[in-house]
């Protein structure tokens, strides 16, 4: 993990999320630095493959696939209990 990246401020004044790579998975954390915000695979600087996003309490919020940075296929939004709430089809690339 690159600790220096955890506290960087972007040019727009927004703090970068704490990030680490574990077994090829890129994991980003909520602003508290403790709870997972997202998890997925990267190809260089671009999301590629399956990704998940989480609420601060740890429940699954959204999941879907990227193809070279573009959202594709079925994306699922989950309610605050982690149950499937809505499905959106982002189509094929």
- Parallel, antiparallel, or unpaired: how do β-strands 84-89 and 25-29 relate? unpaired
Where are the alpha helices (H) located in 1-93, listed in sequence order? 3-6
Instruction: Over range 3-21, report the average pLDDT.
Output: 57
Predicted structure pTM score: 0.77
Residues 22-38 pLDDT 10s = 999 999 999 888 899 99
How far is the C-alpha of 81 from the C-alpha of 91, rounded, in Å? 27
What are the residues facing 78 on neighbouring strands?
Answer: 84
Query: 7: left (phi > 0), else alpha (psi -120 to 50), else beta?
Result: alpha
């Amino acid at each position: 993990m690159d600790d220096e990246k955890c506290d960087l401020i972007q040019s727009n004044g927004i703090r970068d999320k704490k990030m680490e790579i574990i077994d090829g998975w890129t994991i980003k954390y909520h602003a508290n630095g403790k709870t997972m915000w997202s998890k997925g695979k990267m190809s260089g600087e671009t999301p590629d493959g399956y990704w998940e996003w989480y609420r601060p309490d740890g429940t699954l919020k959204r999941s879907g696939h990227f193809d070279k940075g573009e959202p594709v296929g079925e994306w699922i939004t989950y309610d605050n209990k982690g149950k499937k709430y809505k499905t959106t089809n982002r189509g094929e690339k």
